[in-house]
Amino acid sequence: MSSDLEGTATAVTERKVVKPTPAELMEDAGTGLDYGVRPDRMPGYLTPIDRFFIRSHAPTPRLDAATWSLRIEGDGVREPVTYTYADLWNRFPLASTVRTIECAGNRRVLFGQAYGRTFGGTQWGRGAIGTAEWTGVRLRDLLEPAGVTPGAREVMPEGLDRIRARRPMPLAKALADDTLLVLAMNGETLPPDHGYPARVVVSGWLGAASIKWVGRIEVSERPLRVPWNTEDYVLIGRDYPDGPIPITGIPVASMVELPWPARLRPEPQVIRGRAFAGENAVSSVEYRIDEGPWRAASPASPQLPAAWVRWQFTWVPRPGDHVIQVRATDDQGRTQPDTVPWNDLGYLYHPVLSHPVRVEA
């Protein structure tokens, strides 16, 4: 091999993620670890693995299922237990569920633009959200053999990535029907970037709770304080005098399935989008053009718990520059606000957005 070729090979930056992230499908969020989906490249309801967003705190670890194990321990269980990968497949019932995962930092760039400021952290546009079919074992089935104590209060999965990402949840959430230790995604063995060999999916909560590459689960009788619920993934700043407030659920938000800004032809067409309200259901979606009257968008099937909904409306656009606004409402009666207060880490930005559209003459 020539030294030229060797030179080229060493000049290539080592990738921190495993799957390809072509610009056609995914948007580089600037950290080398994080890639968002392009909202206009999701033709179906589910997000395929090839374009599912990646948010990691450290490079994707390459774990060997043959030597991997899961330890459940802590003062909240009577007897620690350790499971092998084969144990998970062979000893427990499987469940499959469709759930949306969204990063609490989704739309951070738009948050900054609204306030004329910038944030540290991952520079997310609208792409830190995706929906998949998750197959795995219910967390409660894994906890049961360890004997959860009457005083157990919190359950904290911990990742085997370099910085051991971890985030506690209340026992009740861990025991919920749809809290899974996931082994497969969209019918395939879980891919490396998405947590192979096992991750949790905590329905309707911020993505950071759905820890990837889980190797240990701590069950505790005391509240657990870790960087991920004290310093990061919290609401903090002068509008949160009682902060930091750890983020759990995700508030209602919506997105138009068009590039930002969009260019359209001056002909009748269906405008589509999605809305997601975390643990709550989306009950209605309205839209308006150029600050005209609000009108109801039509929902599209399917309608699933703790997963996004699709909506659509027909538009006959005239040439020129326009703005599409969408406001979704959840089943608790909460509608996307016009503005949201500032928080220093740029989380949960979920107001009505003004989607810029240019229609050709």
Binding site for a second copy (CB under 8 A): 42-48, 50, 89-98, 133, 135, 183-189, 267-270, 272, 298, 300-302, 310, 312
Nearer to a second copy, 18 or 300 (CB): 300
Residue from 185, 265, 169, 289 nearest 220 by CA: 169
We find the least distance from the C-beta atom of residue 89 to a second copy, in angstroms, to be: 8
- Would you call the peptide bond into 356 cis, given omega within 30 degrees of 0 as the criterion? no
Which residue lies nearer to a second copy by CB, 46 or 226? 46
Cβ at position 332, least distance to a second copy in Å: 25
Q: From CA 67, how far away is CA 84, in angstroms rounded?
A: 8
DSSP 136-182: EEEHHHHHGGG-B-TT--EEEEEE-STT--B--EEHHHHTSTTEEEE
**Smallest gap, in angstroms, from Cβ of residue 14 to a second copy?**
27
CA 172 to chain CA mean position, Å = 21
Q: How far is the CB of 50 from a second copy (least distance, A)?
A: 7
Residue 186 Cβ vs a second copy, minimum distance, rounded to whole Å: 6
DSSP structure class, residue 93: -
Closer residue to a second copy, CB minimum distance, 160 or 180: 180
Radius of gyration of the chain (CA): 21
Based on CB atoms, which residue is closest to a second copy, 196 or 233?
Answer: 196
Sheet holding 169-170, edge to edge: 81-84, 69-73, 214-220, 154-159, 169-170
- Closest CB to a second copy among residues 75, 87: 87
